[in-house]
Amino acid sequence: MFKSYIKKFLGFTLAEVLITLGIIGVVAALTIPNLIYNYKKTSATSKLKKTYATLQNAIQMSMAANLGYSYVNFSDGDTNSMINWYNYYLKPNLKVQKDCIDTPGCWHTEGVTKQLNGQTAVWDEGTKGIGGNIIVFVTIDGVMVNLDGAAADDIYDTFGVEIDGTSGLVVHVDVNGDPPPNVIGQDVFVFVFDGKVFVPAGTDKTYEEIEADCSKGGSGYFCFSYILRNNWKLNDDMLF
């Protein structure tokens, strides 16, 4: 009888088990989405930091090897100057698995690149990329990089960077590769090559302008500048 009493005392009723499972389910429902969201934010930030450093190092290595280089005008319609610059200064110091010259095959296979506010990205050409007379390449890590020549006025008005010369280079980088969300400010970030180094879009804008752009109602083009100015922390409006 004593053993029977012990077994009865240590047992759990069905109701107790169901209540426990219910509590575990509620806790999981509350915490797992936040864990996934924070993981995606951390992953995007880490990939952005690595990609930015990789592109910057590639240019610096080329400058050191070639004792600098003269400024190149990257203009829409002047594909050859972009190809020469890419092949001579950038590609040799990167691990590129595939590149596409003004053709589909290296950018997203479905849909279009969106801004944070839901609008289509400026100069989007769907599967071909963003811009005109563009070069898109994919790194060995699966990062997609879109190079587009643009006039200096367009670069400042749209991407917030003042450059020397009449034109420069706009760079869209999807750190997440082809998988979604494919949204500027979430996994797509914008750099500008000013003739010497890569700088984040929005570099020459005020903090208030950057913060407004990197929000639900903004384009997301200045989100990289926002991240840098906030010690590599993402804005909560950069939703996944």
185: containing domain:
32-229
Residue 115 is assigned to a structural domain of this protein:
yes
**Residue 2 above 70 pLDDT?**
no
Neighbours of 190 (CB within 10 A): 28
pLDDT for residue 133:
83
Q: What percent of the chain has pLDDT over 70?
A: 78
Q: Is residue 238 part of a domain?
A: no
Count the neighbouring beta carbons within 10 Å of the beta carbon of residue 46: 12
22 or 81, which is more confident?
81
- Residue 237 inside a domain? The answer is no
Contacts of 191 (CB under 8 A, 6+ apart): 52, 55, 170, 171, 173, 198, 199, 200, 201, 224
pLDDT of residue 14: 72
**Buried b or exposed e, range 225-237, using 16+ CB within 10 angstroms:** bbbbbeeeebbeb
C-alpha 172/C-alpha 175 separation (Å) is: 10
Q: Is 36 helix (H, G, I), strand (E, B) or coil?
A: helix
- Name the residue among 223, 213, 231, 163 with its Cα closest to residue 192: 163
> For 142-176, how does the pLDDT look when each residue is reduced to its tens digit (9 = 90+)?
999 999 988 889 999 999 999 887 888 899 999 98
Whether pLDDT at 232 is above 90: no
Domain presence at residue 15 = no
Cα dihedral: 109, 110, 116, 117 (round 10): 150
pTM of the model: 0.82
Element (H, E) at 213: helix 207-213
Nearest-10 Cα torsion for 217, 222, 223, 225: -150
Task: Please count the structural domains in the chain.
Answer: 1
What pLDDT score does 100 carry? Answer: 96
